[in-house]
Homo-oligomer: A and B are copies of this chain.
Amino acid sequence: MTALVRLLQVTASPPSLQDNTGDLDRLQRAIRTRPGFAACRLVVPHRRLKELAAHFRACGFRGVALLNELPAVPGPAPAGEPAGWELVDFLAASPLRLPALALDLGTTHLEAVLLDLLSGDELGRATRENSQIVHGADILSRIHFAAGQQEAGNGLARLQAAVIGDVNVLASQLAGEAGLAAAEIRALSVAGNTAMGHLFLGLDPYHLCREPYIPVVNAPGPVAAAELGLNLHPAAPVHVLPGVGSYFGGDLLAGIVACDLDLAAEPAMLIDVGTNAEVVVGCRDWLVACAGAAGPALEGGVAKMGMRAGPGVIERVSIDPDSGALSFRVIGEDRVVTESSSAAGAPPPPPARGLCGSGIIDLMAELFLAGMIDIRGKFRPERMGERLVQGPDGPALVVAWPAEAAGGEAVVVSQVDLDALMRSKAAMYAILATLMEQVGLPFTALGRIYVAGAFGRHINPRQAVVLGMIPDLPLATYRPVGNSSLAGARRYLLAREARERIGAVAKKITYLELNVNHEFMIRFSGSRFIPHTDRSLFPSVPVP
């Protein structure tokens, strides 16, 4: 194990008149007798001097030193050697566990894992809404809020305090569940998009959203938890994972390392759909990335009844192409709700509240295969029967009747919702195609496509292929990888190899700015049909 925090057994000779060097000089001298520590950089932060010396003395000059690894310096360093250590604590004996927190710092949600750095075991996992949401739902409105002055302090300080508070709640909760105190947590790694990283560190995000979109810093150094107001151990190093630019943060670099994209012998791809769709293609020799606004519809954020995956949300829809009968399944229920199951005498169906991204994708693919929408994604009223209704936004399709719906209000999807999904799916395919065009490879060169996040967990790749959202490849090519950002943050804590790789990836990756790419706009237009204007791109999709 080459965790970010290391325990080192140390036995120093006790002080005497013949050996009367200082306590901390004695401790450092003893550490330097250990293999690999002879000539390393060893620093003691000023704030730790007093307590460290007192603990060392109280332990009788023998016990366990706690060392935080210092980040590597660019340039040639001895292989496998850390750049140095920060000496922060001394314990009488090795603890049974060495807790550390890995955090995926999302715009909407925070997800954290409490780890034991000694065993690598997961001690707990929790999620929490980002409290910054009350100051703005999306990144742009938060950047705007950050620049303002409010009576309770400036906007930036309030946003920082909100997210620090969230992390403190998660830390206390996870520590408590594991029988620990938050102050026993000895390290924190944070993977987030660049704006979230800025707000977490209290850095001005003003230029992130203004051309040419410049972060204050891509690779901030570690900072002690106490300096950020975190309730972890005061000397716990907090590492905000490096990013590459305004649109390409540490969350995505963490994902690349979590999927081993940077080690792959054959080209592979990582798709992470959050508020943006972020895509990386590459292998051990090269990496190219891009991002674009394709997400909201796919996360359920565009359709009027769209929502994030959760209990009571429709995630699967199927339509019998002959009878046009629609059935669906809600998250948290094994039963499929069919036309007949809602007939008189049957047990009441589980109430549906809305549709998540995968539910809308399923629905739209099934509508297309049943001939109920055309290749432009427009309703064909003559094929829809009684499910076609007039809603406030114009024509709409009833997915769940009032009797099947929570609150007794039918779950409907309108033409407006479908149009939004068409734009999202077109943007997604255009992003992927433009990226492959830029790297000069066909989709078939990709051995794996990793699909991250809730989108990857819930989507049925076959339905996404039918819609022409993702390329028509063997379905085994697609691999859901869950929260790859969190997985990367976790690896960062556990293995020096992962820390070094994230730094190397940040240097190696080429970022492609799609917003200024003419090629992308052309491809976007051709992708606004199901599956595409060029049907030869999707040979497996039948003509309904």
Contacts and interface: CB of A to CB of B under 8 A. Distances in A.
A219 interface: yes
Residue picked from A44, A211, A215, most chain B C-beta under 10 Å? A215
B74 A32 contact: yes
A46 to B, nearest CB: 4
A213 B20 contact: yes
B203 A53 contact: yes
A129 interface: no
Interface string A11-51: 00001110111111110000010000011111111110110
Nearest to A29: B74
A391 to B, nearest CB: 42
Contact of A215 (B23, B46, B84): B23
A74 B43 CA distance: 11
Contact of A24 (B75, B216, B246): B216
Interface residues of A, number: 56
Interface in A253-269: none
How often does this chain occur in the complex, in copies? 2
A220 interface: yes
B223 A25 contact: no
A227 to B, nearest CB: 6
B75 A22 contact: no
Given A54-B204, A221-B43, A516-B17, A216 B73 contact: no
Contacts of A227: 46-47
B20 A217 contact: no
A46 B225 CA distance: 11
A71 to B, nearest CB: 9
B21 A75 contact: no
Contacts of A220: 24, 44, 46, 49
A286 B317 CA distance: 86
Nearest to A214: B15
A219 B49 contact: no
A62 B21 CA distance: 47
B32 A214 contact: no
26 contacts: A15-B214, A16-B212, A17-B516, A20-B214, A21-B218, A22-B214, A23-B207, A23-B216, A25-B217, A41-B41, A41-B83, A43-B221, A44-B221, A46-B201, A46-B221, A49-B203, A49-B217, A49-B220, A50-B203, A50-B204, A50-B216, A53-B204, A53-B217, A54-B204, A57-B207, A73-B84
Given A20-B213, A53-B204, A57-B207, 4 more contacts: A16-B212, A44-B217, A45-B221, A46-B201
Rank and list the top 9 A-B pairs by shortest CB-CB distance, nearest first.
A39-B75, A46-B223, A22-B215, A24-B217, A22-B218, A53-B216, A22-B217, A15-B214, A17-B212
